[in-house]
Amino acid sequence: MSTRLTPEQLRSHRWFGADDLRSFGHRSRIKQIGYSEEDFAGKPVIAIINTWSDINPCHFHFKDRVEAIKRGVIQAGGFPLELPAIALAENFQKPSTMMYRNFLSMETEELLRSYPIDGAVLMGGCDKTSPALVMGATSADYPAIFFPAGPMMKGCWKGNVLGSGSDTWKYWDELRAGNITECDWRDIENGIARTPGHCMTMGTASTMTSAVEALGLCLPGAASIPATMADHSRMAAECGRTIVDAVWADRRPSSILTREAVENAAVTVLSLGGSTNAIIHLIAIARRAGIAFSAEDFEEFAARVPLLANIRPAGTHLMEDYYDAGGLLAQLKNLRSLLNTDALTINGRTLGENIEVSDHCDTDVIRTMDDPVTSVPALKVLKGNLCPDGAIVKPSTVNPQRMVHRGRALVFDNYADLKARIDDPDLDVDETTVLVLRGAGPVGAPGMPEWGMLPIPKKLLEAGVRDMVRISDARMSGTSYGTCVLHVSPESAVGGPLAVVRTGDEISLDIPNGTLDVVLSESEMEARRQQLVAPDFSADRGFVKLYRTHVEQAHLGCDFDFLAGVGNPEPEIW
Ligand code: FES
Ligand code: MG
């Protein structure tokens, strides 16, 4: 017999249903807003955590969608309350939205815990918003459903389809190589992002919304619906109806986020050719749910999971095509032999039951297991004296000639140094040089920005070079590509080996064998370590200070050291 709560068992009953002085205050003040007993008495209170803001183009339709969600909540007999939270607009926020991910997770957890909330709809999609909202809701552990923003429609320039991020990098290189004009570049600027919605390539946004759906926290099919379609509004209302039912059924994140669910998300990300950022985010989400999950766990699946989504940057299409081809549900149906289909989802059904209804109608956009886009693994974890706690690379976007490489390091101490020197015509560099960027990790930057696809030096671009081996303690956008070794851990700012590498040292990369080393003796590395001067962060204040003091390294998910696990049970006295 499945659980059904009574109105007296709702958490919000303590605020609105009790018969005491405090509840008098709560009821009189909610009535001050204009609500009556008919609106709230005995009903589940649903928080709609809305990451809308004037500066987030990916969430620009959330002002409308929130009304559809409220409609669904009311239809199902709930009481919706919209609670705004920090927007994390990927393209605008410096030094990186990653520095704010944990803060949005804290804000989410605290909003849910401190107010009379029974369940939540989490409105996100732009890169870090999805993991942040899910991390916060996992720690709060009240019933929660994720509402994905949906991808924007395709871009266009002179008949060429444009995809966010990927085509920005591509045409930027062509501009610097002199192959397109400033006027072309301006036209591309006007044509690359034309509707609300998140990036429509397989960047971090599409990767993470799909991962959250595979975790079981979305309605089936929700992650693939383009932002501006009518289907998206209908899905919003259905989210509202579903969360009310999930509250009565007491269906909490802790009953959904099992190890099997995390494995489903990892398999999904790999089969999408998804963003490397997903590794950090899924490790962090898993740790909030009390599940130990590592990059090595990801890698184990990578050897078995083929790339099925033919979407840029690893493939050729965009999210709009993917939706029309059947979307994530169709892909999961193709993948079902690798999934834990018994995993519970937020609608009360299993993942297997959810994917059973899907239709697959384009075998180019969504491939079958025996006809993948590529069987080159989507992820490789590297270990060696340059990355004792690991580094990662995305072999599916690596130039095959660079899979095994030895070359001379050219070291940039930080991003400012890189920007100042990379296009210097006198830079001592050729296509075999290994570009190294340090000072770009979680503590160093801070926030581990997406600087990991280091630009190719201008003089090499003009000579036709489009890929080189690049190594950093940074992340890389999911829309980026190339032979980029990322997430080197521990990072240079905390004394990791990247800090002792010097220009001219020989670097050895072997992706098939999973190694990354600097050709130096341990005694030489130790001697150099003794000379290191720790970076001075004494001028830090506010969020930056809190972040630098408590952030963990990339291989642990970059969460704060005080946030792992589910929150404390709340005292009845509150
Ligand atoms: Fe928001 Fe890409 S900028 S998803
Ligand atoms: Mg991105």
The pLDDT score that the predictor gives to residue 313 is: 87
Q: What pairs with residue 309 in β-bridges?
A: 366
Identify the weakest region by mean pLDDT among 137-141, 250-254, 377-381, 449-453: 377-381
CB 388, CB 553: distance < 8 Å = no
pLDDT at 116 over 90: yes
The pLDDT score that the predictor gives to residue 568 is: 66
The pLDDT score that the predictor gives to residue 573 is: 63
Identify the weakest region by mean pLDDT among 19-33, 42-56, 391-405, 490-504: 391-405
- Overall average pLDDT of the 176-187 stretch: 95
CB 481, CB 397: distance < 8 Å = yes
pLDDT at 78 over 80: yes
Confidence of residue 450 (pLDDT cuts 50, 70, 90): very high
| Residue with tokens 């905390």, as numbered in its chain | 494
Q: Is the CB of 205 under 6 A from ligand 1?
A: yes
The pLDDT score that the predictor gives to residue 175 is: 94
The pLDDT score that the predictor gives to residue 377 is: 87
Name the closest-CA residue to atom 3, ligand 1.
90
**Percent of residues, the chain, with pLDDT higher than 90:** 91
pLDDT at 574 over 70: no
Confidence of residue 239 (pLDDT cuts 50, 70, 90): very high
- What is the pTM for the complete model shown? 0.96
Contacts of 97 (CB under 8 A, 6+ apart): 88, 89, 90, 126, 127, 128, 447
Q: What is the mean pLDDT of the chain?
A: 95
pLDDT at 46 over 70: yes
Phi, psi of 526 (to 5 degrees): -65, -40
The pLDDT score that the predictor gives to residue 480 is: 83
Name the closest-CA residue to atom 1, ligand 1.
126
pLDDT tens digit sequence for 265-279: 999 999 999 999 999
| Orientation angle between helical segments 327-334 and 259-272, nearest 10 degrees | 100
pLDDT tens digit sequence for 469-488: 999 999 998 888 899 999 99
| Orientation angle between helical segments 204-215 and 129-140, nearest 10 degrees | 30
pLDDT at 1 over 70: no
Q: Is the CB of 319 under 6 A from ligand 1?
A: no
Q: How far does the centroid of ligand 2 lie from the alpha carbon of residue 32, in Å?
A: 42
Atom of ligand 1 nearest to the CA of 58: 1
- Reported ipTM: the value is 0.95
- Overall average pLDDT of the 130-136 stretch: 98
Burial tier of 574 (Cβ tally within 10 Å: 0-12, 13-18, 19+): exposed
Identify the weakest region by mean pLDDT among 2-6, 102-106, 530-534: 2-6
Distance CA 546, CA 281 (A): 19
Identify the weakest region by mean pLDDT among 327-341, 444-458, 560-574: 560-574
Q: What pairs with residue 161 in β-bridges?
A: 156
Distance CA 543, CA 154 (A): 36
Nearest of 395, 382, 399, 405 to residue 498 by alpha carbon = 382
Burial tier of 440 (Cβ tally within 10 Å: 0-12, 13-18, 19+): buried
The pLDDT score that the predictor gives to residue 375 is: 84
Name the closest-CA residue to atom 2, ligand 1.
199
pLDDT tens digit sequence for 333-361: 999 999 999 999 999 999 999 999 888 77
Q: How far does the centroid of ligand 1 lie from the alpha carbon of residue 49, in Å?
A: 18
- Overall average pLDDT of the 429-444 stretch: 98
- Overall average pLDDT of the 237-253 stretch: 98
Confidence of residue 144 (pLDDT cuts 50, 70, 90): very high
Q: Is the CB of 126 under 6 A from ligand 1?
A: yes
pLDDT tens digit sequence for 359-408: 877 889 999 999 999 988 889 999 999 999 999 999 888 889 999 999 99
325-349 burial, b if ≥16 CB within 10 A, otherwise e?
Answer: bbbbbbbbbbbeebbbbebbbbbee
Atom of ligand 1 nearest to the CA of 203: 2
Q: How far does the centroid of ligand 1 lie from the alpha carbon of residue 147, in Å?
A: 16
CB 23, CB 12: distance < 8 Å = no
pLDDT tens digit sequence for 258-316: 999 999 999 999 999 999 999 999 999 999 999 999 999 999 999 899 999 999 988 99
pLDDT at 97 over 80: yes
- Mapping DSSP onto H, E and C, the string for 263-310 reads HHHHHHHHHHCCCCHHHHHHHHHHHHCCCCCCHHHHHHHHCCCCECEC
Q: What pairs with residue 479 in β-bridges?
A: none
The pLDDT score that the predictor gives to residue 569 is: 66
Distance CA 220, CA 265 (A): 14
Atom of ligand 1 nearest to the CA of 56: 1
Candidate from 51, 56, 58 with most ligand 1 atoms within 8 A of CB, to mutate: 58
pLDDT tens digit sequence for 226-235: 999 999 999 9
Q: How far does the centroid of ligand 2 lie from the alpha carbon of residue 137, in Å?
A: 22
